[in-house]
Amino acid sequence: MSARQVLQVGPLKPSLAQTLKDTYDAFVLPDGEERSAFLTEHGPEIRAVVTSGRTGVDAALMAALPNLGAVVNFGVGYDTTDVDEAARRGVVVSNTPDVLTDCVADTAVGLMIDTMRQFAAADRYVRAGQWSASGNFPLTRQVSNRRVGIIGLGRIGSAIAKRLSAFGCTIAYHNRRRVEGSPYTYYGSPVELAAVEVLIVAAAGGAATAKLVNREVLEALGPDGYLVNIARGSVVDEEALVAALRDGRLAGAGLDVFADEPNVPAELLAMDNVVVLPHVGSGTVETRAAMEELTLRNLESYLATGALVTPVPTHAIARR
């Protein structure tokens, strides 16, 4: 194997970036004016790109890498990579499924609890001295025994459903298609599903799911309903969400993802019925280490054999 066949695209976990540098002598794709000259000089050398779901590889970059064979993705989501163009060019794509399922599902449940019980807001209330000055914190909403709808009953959606079943919740779901053997009630559209008390978004991002949760869905969820999103910001119409919360047409929201990360709408930051997290669903030491290990296994396998350990179907949108 000749040297320097690997290209890092976008920021990665520091230890992963260091391994790419030390073990593979990987290039790092520069930004700005240097990029064009770099691609002209080194583009033909690259066989594999390592990137993340926050950066990805678009069609233009693929065109500048004529010998690219694999996009190795750190993360389960790969909607920022043009999978249709990859399939057309014969470029295989990998992700890191399964290893982050538990932590992301835990995050969804944590957001649901925090949003409905307003623990983060209550913490701020105590720290601001309001408990002694203004009395008890206002009553909140019970979490157990709720009717919960899940958009996207894949690995993560199923793990969320399993956890919430232990809370006595009644689970329903919407998918592109019915999940055979599922014990949960299936609805054919997000609007039909949204007649619940809590709607959790666990679908993949990408063009096929852009603004899937729109104004109509939020109206169906209603002023007593809560939205939790641990999927991609693109799946929710963020402007419609902000308007619904501002106008009291939605009870609250727990959000780990946003349409234009790291930028969060200022109106959301001022709302005590909204919990905002900086896209930390898989952000534990254990999970990120497992994701790194699987990313490197995919890269090593491709360079050695031409096959990936965990390939994704580049012609389809996968459910998280």
Summarised one tens digit per residue, pLDDT across range 139-153 is 999 999 999 999 999
Neighbours of 277 (CB within 10 A): 19
Cα-atom radius of gyration of the chain, to the nearest Å? Answer: 21
Name residues whose C-beta falls within 8 Å of residue 97's C-beta, 6 or more positions apart in sequence: 76, 155, 310
Residue 281 buriedness (CB in 10 A; 0-12 / 13-18 / 19+): buried
In this prediction, residue 3 carries a pLDDT of 67
Single out the catalytic residue among 261, 267, 286, 293: 261
Gap between the Cα atoms of 159 and 109, Å rounded: 10
Gap between the Cα atoms of 79 and 93, Å rounded: 11
**pLDDT average, residue stretch 64-84:** 95
Is residue 168 predicted with pLDDT exceeding 90?
Answer: yes
Gap between the Cα atoms of 212 and 247, Å rounded: 21
In this prediction, residue 202 carries a pLDDT of 98
Gap between the Cα atoms of 233 and 227, Å rounded: 12
The domain limits of the chain are 6-99+286-305, 101-276
In this prediction, residue 4 carries a pLDDT of 87
pTM: 0.91
Provide the Cα torsion 122, 127, 131, 132; round to 10°: 170
Single out the catalytic residue among 232, 288, 319, 320: 232
User: Is 232 in the active site?
Assistant: yes
Nearest Cα to 198, choosing from 170, 162, 166, 177? 170
In this prediction, residue 213 carries a pLDDT of 98
User: Is 174 in the active site?
Assistant: no
Is residue 314 predicted with pLDDT exceeding 90?
Answer: no
Q: Which CATH architecture has domain 101-276?
A: 3-Layer(aba) Sandwich (3.40)
Quick one: pLDDT band at residue 154, thresholds 50, 70, 90? very high
Single out the catalytic residue among 279, 288, 319, 320: 279
How large a percentage of the chain has pLDDT more than 70? 97
Gap between the Cα atoms of 51 and 91, Å rounded: 14
pLDDT for 224-244, tens place per residue?
Answer: 999 999 999 999 999 999 999
Gap between the Cα atoms of 230 and 239, Å rounded: 17
Q: Which CATH architecture has domain 6-99+286-305?
A: 3-Layer(aba) Sandwich (3.40)
In this prediction, residue 313 carries a pLDDT of 75
The owner of tokens 């976990």 is 13
Q: 6-99+286-305 with 101-276: one CATH topology?
A: yes
User: Is 279 in the active site?
Assistant: yes
Quick one: pLDDT band at residue 316, thresholds 50, 70, 90? very low
How large a percentage of the chain has pLDDT more than 90? 95
Is residue 118 predicted with pLDDT exceeding 80?
Answer: yes
Is residue 2 predicted with pLDDT exceeding 80?
Answer: no
**pLDDT average, residue stretch 215-232:** 98
